[in-house]
Structure 1
Amino acid sequence: MANQLGDYLKARRAGVKPEDVDLPPGGTRRVPGLRREEVAAMAGLSVDYYTRLEQGREQHPSPSVLNSLARVLRLGPDAQRYLFAIATQGPPVPPVRRQLSPNLLRLVNDWTDHPALITDPCHNIVVANHLGRAIYGGHQHSDNLARLVFLDPAGRTFYRNWNNVAGTIVASIRAAASNPAVNAELMALVGELTVRSEEFSKRWAKAEVLEKTSGQSFLRHPIVGDLDLTYETFKPNGAPDLQLKIYRAEKGSEMSEKLTMLGSLTAAQPDEPAALPDERTVR
């Protein structure tokens, strides 16, 4: 990722239609989206300067330049944060080491009616309670949600809203990749998925950035059938790079009954005890 900023600018420029920024749509265009000179003009930059940004020959744009580019390229808040992060990267930092609070682990396990997971930026499932394991268990890639979506043979069947989930996974990986402490591991995952999944490769090239904090999951579970769940995500204060994801079904609903059934049917399966902080350090 030697020219991360330039690659990102080119990808986002290709995703903006002329009519999106009040330019006439006509004319012959060799590439999709806006031309370099159009972006430069609307951002108040010279074409030469903007070209050097895309080619990686200029790597220190000012905040005002980045704000102008974010406006022209129609970047949302998450995408703007990503743009500033990759444009102002400091020296390499060692991999982050996080410790999970014993109270947090006990709390996760105490939620017997709600599936709960803790995942890292690579979408590895670090910790899950019983229902969390029951929902995602039984797949070839049950331990990593990104691989489950793009590499697991059952992924497209398991996720009834697979297209939305795939887009969210890719955009969240892109958002996390701006953190230098986890960048190396993430880029290894991106390399693997790019080689092994054409769908991931196409979506990654769009350079979309999003950190989704709530939503709905529509699953087709092999034991209890269709599950429609809502979820919220939180970042633990002691390990802000991790994400706690809690699912729920409306109390007394058919989906709530299915979760109860799933918990009962999988109760005989051995649970791996959640590791306490002095037993597991999360990289």
Structure 2
Amino acid sequence: MGVPGQLGEFLRARRARLRPEDVGLPALRERRRVAGLRREELAQLAGVSVSYYTRLEQGQSVNASDAILEALAGALQLDGYEREHLRELAAQRPRPQRKPPPERLSPMTRDLMRTFESVPAMVHGRRTDILAWNALGHALLAGHVDRAAPDHPADRPNLARMLFLDPHTRDLYVDWQRKARAVVGNLRHVAGRHPEDSLLASLVGELSMKSPEFVKLWNDHRVKPCEADEYELRHPLVGTLTVTQQILVPARSPEQSVAVVTTPEGSESENTLKLLGRSGLAPSPDTSPGAHSRPISSAAT
């Protein structure tokens, strides 16, 4: 995740998703060697020289002004999150990666988690390590994983790793692709803010080696932190239900997030969730050959 490389990759990816007609340029009939806008077309739209933009994309130019970055963001039709990501990448300077200490759950966040008794909840670290979950959150989203795993940093489950490498988690989401896109978009957002995080770089490297689907989504350079979204789940014990996953950010731990799962009042999904809560059970791990019966944790390789 080199700094100059990240900026160039992001600019190329966003340039590739636009066609000339998307930005008011005439559509050309001749065959184009590359998808999307050419460098000279983007430079023209942003009001910068082609040579300057080329150097910027190749990581050979630094200290781009706010005005130039804003012009590029407008030409590329970036949304708010993408504009912030562009500014972060442009402002970064190469720094040695370092291994940060294990993330800890603050007593205040632990107290907050105790208030979620009737709804599933879990706490994610910035690399999507699961730092805590309540009983219903564990039963709904990861009942095949050891309930106590988040209490041990070396064994903590990791949401991104589970989503791409654990068949139980993959089967849980009816529209797995949409959930995967959301998690990778959030990882991109975090990577732009913490390029020096060696553990995050290691996670991205591992998933890149083990999952071609992750590589495809990562190379798309979608940038969007997880907030709130609706998902249809296919639970192995209670069947199908539709839930909304909402993200809360603890005031004292802004790098962490509390994911709370809700259902519409009076809905069949609410009844299904209550049934899971009354059962007091979680699905037993599949011990058939080839199945993952151990947590996909931050220590797994």
TM-score range relative to shorter protein? 0.7 to 0.9
TM-score normalized with structure 1 length:
0.87
- Evaluate the alpha carbon distance shift between residue 183 and residue 12 of structure 1 in structure 2; reply closer, same or farther with a 3 A threshold: farther
1:263 to 261, 277, 282: 277
What secondary structure sits across from 1:177 in the alignment?
A: helix
Is the Cα–Cα contact under 8 Å of residues 139 and 152 in structure 1 kept in the other structure? no
Q: Deviations over 1:176-196 (max 9, x none)?
A: 111227632222111111111
- Distance in 1 separating the partners of 2:249 and 2:15: 32
Counterpart of 1:66 in structure 2 is: 69
Residue 124 of structure 1 aligns with which residue? 129
State TM-score, norm by structure 2: 0.82
**1:207 equivalenced with 2:212 (yes/no):** no
- Residue identity opposite 1:227 in structure 2: L
Conservation of the 8 A alpha-carbon contact between 2:143 and 2:282 = no
Gaps of 5+ in 1: 270-283
1:38 lines up with 2:52 in the alignment? no
Distance 1:116 1:204 in 2: 27
Cα deviation, 1:73-132, whole Å, max 9, x if unaligned, reads: 111111111111111125558637765332331231231111111101221111111111
The unaligned stretches of length 5 or more in structure 2 are: 147-155, 284-301
1:133 is matched with which residue: 134, 138, 146? 138
**Within the alignment, does 1:216 sit opposite 2:236 as a pair?**
no
* 1:187 matches 2:192: no
Asked whether the equivalents of residues 119 and 244 of structure 1 are also in contact (C-alpha less than 8 Å), the reply is yes
Residue pairs, 1:5-154, within 5 angstroms: 5-26=7-28, 27-90=30-93, 91=95, 95=100, 99-139=104-144, 143-154=157-168
3-state SS of paired residue (1:56)? coil
Range 145-154 or range 212-221, more displaced: 145-154
Cα distance in 2, alignment partners of residues 55 and 116 from structure 1: 43
In structure 2, the residue corresponding to 1:146 is in which secondary structure? Answer: helix
Inter-partner Cα distance in structure 2 for 1:40 and 1:15: 16
Distance 2:211 2:253 in 1: 30
Partner amino acid for 1:110? T
Equivalent pairs counted in the alignment come to 269
Q: Residue 192 of structure 2: SS of its match in structure 1?
A: coil
2: distance between equivalents of 1:59 and 1:201?
Answer: 28
Question: 1:260, CA displacement in angstroms?
Answer: 1.7
Give the distance between the partners of 2:204 and 2:255, measured in 1 at CA: 18
Q: In 2, distance between residues paired with 1:227 and 1:13?
A: 39
Report the secondary structure of 1:82's partner residue. Answer: helix
Amino acid at match of 1:228: T
Q: Is contact 1:140–1:148 with CA below 8 Å preserved after alignment? A: no
CA offsets 1:131-187 (integer angstroms, 9 cap, x no match): 111112244799222122211223442111212111111111101111227632222
RMSD over aligned CA atoms reads 2.3
Find 2:253's aligned residue among 221, 231, 239.
Answer: 239
Structure 1 residues 252-261 or 220-229, which shifts more? 252-261
Structure 1 residues 67 and 122, CA, compared in 2 at 3 Å: closer, same or farther? Answer: same
Q: Percentage identity across aligned positions?
A: 39
CA distance in 2 between partners of 1:162 and 1:268 (Å): 21
Change (3 A) 1:13 1:123: same
Contact 1:114-1:248 at 8 Å conserved across structures = yes
Which piece of structure 1 moves more, 180-189 or 158-167?
A: 180-189
